[in-house]
Structure 1
Amino acid sequence: MTKKRRRHTPEQIVKKLRDAEVMPNAGKSMEEVLEMLEVSEATFDRWQNRFGGMKSEEAKRLKELEGENAR
């Protein structure tokens, strides 16, 4: 069974990264965290490199600027 591909908004990504920071402190393993977030390890690492430490407003603005630059 293949999973349906999802697109996450920058706000959703930042929220999931914040949730992922708390879960290991609650005794969750990395595999359990990734399963709960429904993402692969590669996706999680990419998100951390790109959005790590940002607030959702900053991530939204970054996405807008990238769209402007692409035009």
Structure 2
Amino acid sequence: MRKSKFTDSQIMAMLKQAKSGIPIQDICRDNGVSTAMFYRWRSKYGGMDTSMVKRLKELERENALLKKMYAEEKLKNEIVTDALEKKW
């Protein structure tokens, strides 16, 4: 997954500016962000604070690691069952 050039606190600051009434186009232009990215952040992080965003990212990393581990173990299991099924 690609690393964002914006920190969690910067993203949250942009979302708070939008809640305070500053036009979204102005926020995006000042920070060099597309409006599509801003709306994506708003749908993903809306209503969260910075600590919750950090926890979410930590859980996403852990989930990706667990999925990778599961895929590796499943592959090993398939190799073993294929080897045992063959008649020598």
In 1, distance between residues paired with 2:52 and 2:5? 18
Count of paired positions? 62
Identity rate, percent = 39
Larger Rg: 2
Of the candidates 58, 81, 84, which is equivalent to residue 64 of structure 1? 58
Q: How far has the Cα of 1:46 moved from its partner?
A: 0.4
Looking at both structures, which has the greater relative contact order when contacts are Cα pairs under 8 Å and sequence separation is at least 6? Answer: 1
Per the normalisation by structure 1, the TM-score is: 0.73
Unaligned runs of 5+ in 2: 66-88
In 1, distance between residues paired with 2:56 and 2:39? 18
Q: How far has the Cα of 1:22 moved from its partner?
A: 1.8
Instruction: Could you list the structure 1 runs, at least 4 aligned residues long, displaced by more than 6 angstroms after superposition.
Output: none
In 1, distance between residues paired with 2:9 and 2:32? 16
Higher normalized helix content (fraction of residues)? 2
Note the 1:1-71 alignment, pairs <5 A.
Answer: 7-24=5-22, 29-71=23-65
Unaligned runs of 5+ in 1: 1-5
User: Aligned-residue CA RMSD in angstroms?
Assistant: 1.6
Q: Give the equivalent residue in structure 2 for 1:3.
A: none
Q: How far has the Cα of 1:21 moved from its partner?
A: 1.9
Letter in 2 for 1:32: D
